[in-house]
Amino acid sequence: MNKMNASGWKPGTPVSVDNEGDYPTVTGNKALMLEERLVFELGTRETCGVDLPEPDASAPNRLGKFARRKPIDLPGLSEPETVRHYTRLSRQNYAIDLGLFPLGSCTMKHNPRLNEKVARMPGFADVHPLQPVDTIKGALGVIDELSHWLIELTGMSAVAMSPKAGAHGELCGILCIRAALEARGDMRKVVLVPESAHGTNPATAAFAGYEVEDIPAAPDGRVDLDALKARLGPDVAGVMITNPNTCGLFEKDMKAISDAVHAAGGLVYCDGANFNAIMGRVRPGDLGVDAMHINLHKTFSTPHGGGGPGSGPVVLSEALAPFAPLPFVVKDADGEIRLVEEENVGDEFPGSFGRMTAFHGQMGMFTRALTYILSHGADGLRQASGDAVLNANYLLRSLDDVLDAPFGDAGHCMHEALFSDHGFAEGMSTLDVAKGLIDEGFHPMTMYFPLVVHGAMLVEPTETESKATLDQFVVAMRSLAERAKAGDETLKSAPHHAPRARLDEAHAARKPVLAWNGQDDA
């Protein structure tokens, strides 16, 4: 419900001035901020947006028991109505093309249009997973080239390209570790996960059948190396560690952690979601990592999420390379590139644990990622990671005098700056600051994560934001921080200028209205 409707006024009632001098309108619109109705309110169930011939009643029913027994009960809209409806809704979205998207630990970087142009080239845009292999040599070449870059950038020995997302990649890596341990007859049951790791890490280990045990963080926000070493033993299959971690810090003891885990017979999984901070500067393979997924959207600028376009390749050490899942692309000594997809791979690849997905990879994401890599080159990728770290540290030092930075004394941060709600007036919260940020025209940062920091605010600016944009964000955050510290009650009801006022999120989660019943539920 928007501000005009908050007092109970509805479209169609006489115009009057509210207490704040705001003029409601009979349409509910405010100039170009359009109050869009539900699609059910725009069309009727009795009409259709196109003229269709009446079906032949004498024609045989080929649907059998699947024939519709009652009307579809959807509104009929014309083409202009349909286009306008979804365009108006899209104007209420926030997107990376509109401004800074500062989600910490969930890199939201610019998607260059060059990537989109290449991905839409014939042969890439229309490639089909069921095409005969001899008709997709170019696509296999792209996969092989991208694989080469990922292996070189990470210092690993092989890469599994088929996982469809970060968490899917995590599962792939853990299943490779399980397969390697089983191959040597060493069944282990525990995976150690530090407090500073991504939340999907313990979930993945549990899903793979392992018991999960936490490793505490040291006062500086990094893994407590002594606590980790003390817990290692013959029952520990490995460790899942995020580096740089969710506190925005590089795990300086990473090599020592890997050495200790390997000495105890375990293997090391590294969550590579934050690889954008170290790309071209640090190779995880050199730090003893055995498996690491790479979110192509977070590091190599492919579209983020949306329920379909994800891709999470997993790079593997020499110890885990034989256990990579099917299918995969190999390049023979004669330069021939082929797709290995048979379940029974015989003596050539005897250790593969099988398939994770029906088809190989996500071609649209591979094409975009390789375009990004080739357009930058090794030096450009190194500069991108450096600029990302520079931007994060600029925000950290521009705000640490008005916002508590719990690990500000631990040295410079990596890709993201972390703040807490310490110092806010009683009753003021991180949520209030986030809602106030909407009024300032910014998407809120990540809130209440990582869990090791109370009232956490995790901000990741990425490398593509200019100093002017960062300065504007700093001005907004400084103002909001001062208001929260002063107990400004207007923050408790923010946002005031968004299409909708603050929602009762607990009520919405517990009692969502998921179906249109033909009544005004406002």
Distance (Å, whole) CA 409 – CA 288: 28
Pairing of strands 314-316, 328-331: unpaired
Q: Which of 358, 361, 330, 363 is nearest to 343 (CA)?
A: 358
Q: Which of 49, 60, 109 is nearest to 85 (CA)?
A: 49
Any idea what the Cα angle at residue 250 is, between residues 295 and 104, rounded to 5°?
Answer: 50
Q: Residue 3 pLDDT > 50, yes or no?
A: no
> Tokens at residue 322, please?
């034989």
Q: What is the mean pLDDT of residues 204-231?
A: 95
Q: Are 40 and 75 in contact (CB under 8 A)?
A: yes
The pLDDT-based confidence of 2 (bands split at 50, 70, 90) is very low
Q: Which tens digit of pLDDT belongs to each residue from 23-63?
A: 677 877 888 888 888 888 888 877 788 888 887 888 888 88
Alpha helices in 91-224 (DSSP H): 113-119, 137-154, 166-183, 200-207
Describe the strand order of the beta sheet including 457-459 as a list of residue ranges.
417-419, 457-459, 446-447
Burial label, 162 (beta-carbon count in 10 A; 0-12, 13-18, 19+): buried
Q: What pLDDT score does 519 carry?
A: 57
Q: How far apart are the first and last CA of the chain?
A: 7
Q: What is the mean pLDDT of residues 476-485?
A: 97
Q: What is the mean pLDDT of residues 262-291?
A: 97
Distance (Å, whole) CA 364 – CA 336: 23
Q: What pLDDT score does 73 carry?
A: 79
Q: Which tens digit of pLDDT belongs to each residue from 102-161?
A: 999 889 999 999 999 999 998 888 999 889 988 999 999 999 999 999 999 999 999 999
Domains of the chain: 114-123+135-369 (3.40.640.10), 384-509 (3.90.1150.10)
The pLDDT-based confidence of 201 (bands split at 50, 70, 90) is very high
Q: What is the mean pLDDT of residues 185-191?
A: 94
Distance (Å, whole) CA 355 – CA 309: 19
Q: What average pLDDT does the structure give for the chain?
A: 89
Q: Which tens digit of pLDDT belongs to each residue from 421-445?
A: 999 999 999 999 999 999 999 999 9
In the chain, what percentage of residues exceed pLDDT 90?
64
Q: What pLDDT score does 359 carry?
A: 83
Distance (Å, whole) CA 62 – CA 427: 64
Q: What pLDDT score does 349 carry?
A: 66
Question: Rounded to two decimals, what is the model's pTM?
Answer: 0.88
> Tokens at residue 33, please?
């901020």
